[in-house]
Amino acid sequence: MNDTFSARGSILIAGVTTIDGSTADIAIDETGTIVAIGDDARGAIDADIIIDGSERLAIPGLVNTHTHAAMSLLRGYADDMLLQDWLSQKIWPLEAHLSGDDVYAGTRLACLEMIRSGTVAFNDMYFFMDRAAAAVDEMGLKATLAYGFIDLGMEDKRETEIRATEALVRRIASLNNPRIRAAVGPHSVYTVSLAGLSWCAGFAKEQNIGIHVHLSETGKEVTDCLAQYGKRPAHLLDDCGCLTTRTVAAHCCWLDESECRLLGQRGVHASHNPASNMKLAVNRAMPCHWLKQYGAGLTLGTDGCSSNNNLDLFEEMKFAALLQKFAWNSPTLLPAGEVFTMATAGGARALGTGPGTLAVGAPADIALLDTRAVCNTPLFHADSNIVYACNGGAVRTVLCQGRILMHEREVPGEEEIIREAAAAAHALVERAGDEG
């Protein structure tokens, strides 16, 4: 088994079921690229590793477009609260005691959880992101990492945030790891000044990197923004240059139709986070139908583990489909195939990790599900089983860029990762002098 994880050779996945119900061989070369699918795949490479695909369903690895990975340490620390109280009374005071070691331990735990539930790439916003990068580098996923820029309207704080953002971008460039990218992370219109937002947009443009921002999560965010600036949050972000094809906007719950049109015009990718939205009772669901109508990108995220409380995108797909139907009062909204596309191709396009499909020339970012699992029986329409019946526990094997990260539910080093994260979480809460 150790050979399976350390090997960097070519891989043949033999006789695997695909989403359309057919059986195929998938050939992956040493660079981690899919070079053939189908009858000719066996001859396309001289495989170093052969994975038995019988009783397995191959899907593109899932993409989580909004999370705060290291918040896995805060799982269950503060639940059942209003967003503003939750942040200001519980989360921010605890985060004031965070160390780089905590972020490293928490991000490793998050990566482990994502691998175990079929996620291969994620869009992260947090602190000590150089340590998050080290964790991602080791764990083998793809990630876009942003420092959470929060200036609270203070000029000296803005300077600190600018330096931190620049330092992270330099650090990630120096890693020279094509799986890890930097983005700029203005937290939101209620935590960042106009000058801060404009600086973020300008720097992201100059560096040609992404922008990761929270947008219109609560009704209060909209009313406060209207009171302070006389315009709605999306229009304010646009004035500052933050709405681009490189932008991922998380939540988007309270957008009105004109804001959805604006996001479509700017080619923004919206990240739907239904579990977090329901848990924090933000009281409105992202208007997926308007965003789709106006051509914005549709993607899926979990948000951090403190508002979800896990990183399982299978659960998130189901929540998304159900919430859209319930909130907008139509059972035909967001059918299984569409939500599956959000979690795969939509996310991959937003983060630039590939097409997010199993195709020749695409990176081998693949999850293999157990076709004999209860949730896959019977298997009439694979997308229906995936979205409505399964959770991440159905995933057996995960490849990212052709590297095997989990095989038959074994991830190397997982006991140590869990032990260290548990210790870091308890020590953090103790340091903060609050038993939660």
Binding map of ligand NOS across residues 83-102, x = CB under 6 A, - = no contact: ----x---x---x-------
Nearest to ligand NOS of 84, 293 (CB atom): 84
Q: Is 102 exposed, middle or buried (0-12, 13-18, 19+ CB in 10 A)?
A: buried
Site size toward Zn ion (CB under 5 A) is: 1
* Number of residues assigned to the chain: 436
**95 near Zn ion, judged by CB under 5 A:** no
- 308 belongs to the binding site for ligand NOS (CB under 6 A): no
In degrees to the nearest 10, what's the CA dihedral of 421, 425, 427, 433? 180
What part of residues 59-78 is at the interface with ligand NOS (CB under 6 A)?
68
Which of the ranges 103-111, 153-161, 303-311, 378-386 carries the binding residues for ligand NOS, by CB under 6 A? Answer: 303-311
Pick between residue 161 and residue 303 the one whose CB is nearest to Zn ion. 303
Q: Is 217 in the site for Zn ion (CB under 5 A)?
A: no
With contacts defined by CB under 6 A, name the span among 301-309, 325-333, 376-384, 427-435 that binds ligand NOS. 301-309
End-to-end alpha-carbon separation of the chain, Å? 40
399-to-8, 50, 393, 404 alpha-carbon distances in Å: 12, 13, 16, 4
- Tell me whether residue 68 or residue 284 sits nearer to ligand NOS (CB atom): 68
Query: Which strands, in side-by-side order, build the sheet including 297-300?
Result: 62-67, 119-126, 142-149, 180-186, 210-215, 247-251, 269-272, 297-300
Binding residues among 242-281 for ligand NOS as defined by CB under 6 A: 276
Task: Flag whether 66 is marked binding.
Answer: yes
**Is the Cβ–Cβ distance between 31 and 11 less than 8 Å?**
no
Strands 180-186 and 142-149: what pairing? parallel
Q: Which does 346 bind (CB under 5 to 8 A by kind): Zn ion, ligand NOS, none?
A: none
DSSP 44-97: H---SEEEE-TTEEEEEPEEEEEE-GGGGGGTTTS-S--HHHIIIIIIHHHHTT
Among 303, 312, 315, 338, binds ligand NOS (CB under 6 A): 303
Is residue 148 at the binding interface for ligand NOS, with CB under 6 A as the rule? Answer: yes
Instruction: Work out which of 75, 131, 214, 284 binds ligand NOS, going by CB under 6 A.
Output: 214
Residue 187 contact partner, candidates ligand NOS, Zn ion, none, CB within 5 to 8 A by sort of partner: ligand NOS
Q: Which is nearer to ligand NOS, 148 or 363 (CB)?
A: 148
The response to whether 68 counts as a known ligand-binding position is yes
Q: Is 284 in the site for ligand NOS (CB under 6 A)?
A: no
3-state secondary structure of 303: coil
List the interface residues with Zn ion, window 297-326 (CB under 5 A): 303
The whole-angstrom separation of Cα 52 and Cα 49 is: 10
Contact status: 130 vs Zn ion (CB under 5 A): no
What amino acid occupies position 315?
E
Among 77, 104, 122, 126, binds ligand NOS (CB under 6 A): 126
Tokens found for residue 178: 């094509």
Residue 299 binds ligand NOS (CB under 6 A): no
Least distance in Å: CB of 397 to ligand NOS?
31
Cβ burial of 361 (10 Å; 0-12, 13-18, 19+) is exposed
Is 101 within 8 Å of 157 (Cβ atoms)? no
Residue position matching structure tokens 């605890």: 94
Q: Which of Zn ion, ligand NOS, none sits in contact with 91, Cβ below 5 to 8 A by type?
A: ligand NOS
In whole angstroms, the minimum distance from the beta carbon of 245 to ligand NOS comes to: 23
Q: Are 271 and 299 in contact (CB under 8 A)?
A: yes
Q: By CB under 6 A, is residue 107 in contact with ligand NOS?
A: no
- Nearer residue to Zn ion within complex by CB, 68 or 142: 68
Which residues, 6+ apart, have CB-to-CB distance to 390 below 8 Å?
314, 369, 373, 375, 376
Could you tell me the two tokens for 431? 């340091």
303 is in an annotated binding site: yes
Binding site for ligand NOS (CB under 6 A): 68, 87, 91, 95, 125-126, 148, 187, 214, 217, 276, 303-304, 307
| Known binding-site positions for substrate | 95, 187, 217, 303
Binding site for Zn ion (CB under 5 A): 303
